[in-house]
Chains A and B, each alone.
Chain A
Amino acid sequence: MEPVESQVESELTSTKVSAESGVVASRVSDRKSHAQVGTEKNPPPTAPPPRLDDYINIVGAAEIDELRTLAREVKGKTVKMVNSTALGGGVAEMLNQQVPLLNELEVKTDWDVISGGSDFFEVTKAFHNALQGGDYKLTQQARDVFLSYNQQNSERIHFTEDVVVIHDPQPAALIRSRQNQSGKWVWRCHIDLSKPNAEVWQFLRQFVEKYDASIFSAQSFTQQLPITQYLFYPCIDPLSEKNKKLDDSFIQKVCDEFGIDRSRPIVTQVSRFDRAKDPVGVVQAFKKARKFADCQLVLAGGGASDDPEGATVLKEVEEAANGDRDIIILDLPPWSALEINALQRASTVIVQKSLQEGFGLTVTEALWKEKPTIAGAVGGIPNQVIHKLTGMLAHSVDECAEQMRHLLTNPDFAKQLGKNGCEHVKENFLITTDLRRWLLLVQILLGER
């Protein structure tokens, strides 16, 4: 049984690597060079987190002033965030961004990571999948493991803050240590609970109901609960490597490296090779659309080298592409944020033809870059893509093809969609909006108004 702290340490160690970086993948057809890339290149070091003033050029000084005014109302209040991992995954990424900004605003925010053995994380991984609809038989042993590690953590972590935010199911039972303490407790659920395994949800629900409030990422991800349910959309950081502005010379370099012709329209889908993202459907739609509008297709994904299912899906995509030189398939390593940014910025149209989706942050990224976007109407995507206003929703291959063709041949309409999409992100899905929500939450929960 390996304690999670040592897992985290090992993860941390594994990311302390050289600063060497660069374009890190090639066309999948060049399998040999891809394999070499995966082993020889290392992720770049992480930059220090931005400060609030760094966002003034993006959202305006008045917006940042509003955040400071909101923060003054809760100055000195304390918040504790608790989750299950310090590195990797969207929750840790979000906390790495938000915690420093809340502290800069003098809302003292601590971040604790629960510890547990491999047996705990096996159980919570199974819970995670079951809560998102997977089959699972909940055993007494699994319950005991879950509760025992939560109990151990509740003895280790002190909860003296004004607001305690517990992220996701893994630490949900920490609420049992709330006795005799006055702080407000919030459960932040980052996963889709719309079709949970009934047994696991019933088990978890008994803890969730004890919180003062809950937070979900989309309306469709919720369950009926007796406590208030707030809606916090996931967000992107416009200053991160994946979203910051890039020099055109870098975009050109990435395109050259991957054999993408920027003089012709480019349709791109960025997502791992997973059937839920329907990459084969994208190839089919592209082939239909290209009969009427010249274009290339870029499928930029990852996960094929370390996930057997990903490798199978990649093979299916290659078969569907059938050697077409206008279909460029890229299997990128996980630290390719700059390259993905460049590919998105080089694109004429971006597609996210998911059949199942979480919130769909790749859609948010595309909209932020003012790209006309076609996306499946699943998960959190309809929150972002307002059909014909901020993007296009597609329910089938034919519809996706028709929309590709429409956007490629109606550049004025496509441009307006892109502009609206960017404004939609600026208003609702940026890190500054998320910060506003956290400040409001603290204020509302503590009755400071």
Chain B
Amino acid sequence: MTAALAAAHSRVAAAPFYFNTSASLLRITQYKANNPSELLDGLQNCPDDSIFQHSIRTLQEHHFIREGFTNDFAHWAASGCNEPMLAEALAEIDVREFTKLAEIRGRFVDAVRRFLDRAPETGERPALTVFHFCASDIVVIPTTFVAHDLREFADGVRGVTVHSLHHHFIEARLRLNLRSNDFSEWLEDLGMKEAADELNRIDIYSATLEDVREQILRIVDRSLI
């Protein structure tokens, strides 16, 4: 155990970590797309919370899928439009690279626009299914888990729902406007920068949220030994 880790292990956090969770209610907006051109229109004009819903919130709704799901737009391009090139371009967009919804929207818009520039004949081709832009009303709720030290933190990670993990580990990026997450921020405050960085590198696209939980616990447990 390094000196820094030993110090972190025995240290009580300056501020406890309160595990919260979030619950959401889906709204159906007026925007919908029957083809790739309408997808572009929708992406340009839909409310921010639609972008949030289909790129970030959807990762919670589909938290159990290990591979093959990145965002709702890419999935619709593949299964609704049968346009694998467009699907691939949309699937490449990794929400972890962004700290603002406007930036995420911009990348989706660019991806569809570039696709339509290269394949304009596909723009008006009717999709098999309609894409409905949704959005969500989100309520943050406390859980009973509070961590004052690393051991309590591990207990919290072990005990909360995947909704709480999503709230702190994925949604937090936009809340913090940082390329980080609530867990890493707290670990860093505890003097565990290495563990914080390692935790922040966990791949949310090739892991289920239960996998993410296991990986976080592995990192934290290693520090507790």
Contact = CB atoms under 8 A, between A and B. Distances in A.
A444 B21 contact: no
Contact of B139 (A377, A382, A393, A443): A443
A387 interface: yes
Contacts of A390: 65
Interface in B125-180: 128-130, 132, 134, 137, 139, 141-144, 159-161, 163-164
Contacts of B64: 419-420, 423-424, 427
A152 interface: no
Contacts of A47: none
A275 B27 CA distance: 33
Interface in A50-94: 60, 62-63, 65-66, 69-70, 73
B142 A444 contact: no
Contacts of B137: 440, 444
Interface stretch (A130-138, A202-210, A218-226, A312-320): A218-226
Nearest to B141: A69
Given A62-B143, A386-B69, A230 B160 contact: no
B28 interface: yes
Interface string A364-403: 0000000000000100001000111110010100000000
A228 interface: yes
Contact of B25 (A63, A377, A389, A440): A440
Contacts of B27: 228-231
B61 interface: yes
B161 A69 contact: no
Interface residues of B, number: 35
Nearest to B133: A219
A63 B26 contact: no
B157 to A, nearest CB: 11
Contacts of B25: 230, 437, 440-441, 444
Contact of A62 (B24, B28, B61, B161): B161
Interface in A228-259: 228-231
B61 A70 contact: no
Contacts of A387: 78-79
Given A219-B28, A382-B129, A428-B61, A444 B143 contact: no
Nearest to A395: B128
Nearest to B19: A62
B105 interface: no
Interface string B167-197: 0000000000000000000000000000000
A449 interface: yes
B62 interface: yes
A436 interface: yes
Contact of B30 (A70, A224, A395, A437): A224
Interface in B1-45: 21, 23-28, 30, 32
A228 B21 CA distance: 25
Given A377-B129, A423-B64, A62 B159 contact: yes
Nearest to A388: B68
A219 B131 CA distance: 9
Contacts of A427: 61-64
Contacts of A388: 68
B207 to A, nearest CB: 14
Contacts of B160: 62
B57 interface: no
Given A60-B161, A216-B28, A66 B141 contact: yes
A449 B144 CA distance: 19
The winner among A66, A436, A441 for most chain B CB atoms within 10 A is A66
B138 to A, nearest CB: 9
A231 to B, nearest CB: 4
B69 A220 contact: no
A294 B83 CA distance: 34
A389 B69 contact: yes
The 5 A-B pairs at the shortest CB distance, nearest first, are namely A423-B64, A219-B132, A231-B26, A387-B79, A229-B28
Interface of A: 60, 62-63, 65-66, 69-70, 73, 216, 219-220, 222, 224, 228-231, 377, 382, 386-390, 393, 395, 419-420, 423-424, 427-428, 436-437, 439-441, 443-444, 449
10 contacts: A66-B21, A220-B129, A229-B28, A377-B128, A423-B63, A427-B62, A428-B61, A439-B23, A440-B24, A444-B139
Given A65-B143, A230-B25, 18 more contacts: A60-B161, A63-B161, A69-B142, A219-B130, A219-B132, A219-B134, A228-B27, A377-B129, A382-B129, A386-B75, A388-B68, A389-B65, A424-B64, A427-B62, A437-B25, A440-B23, A440-B137, A440-B139
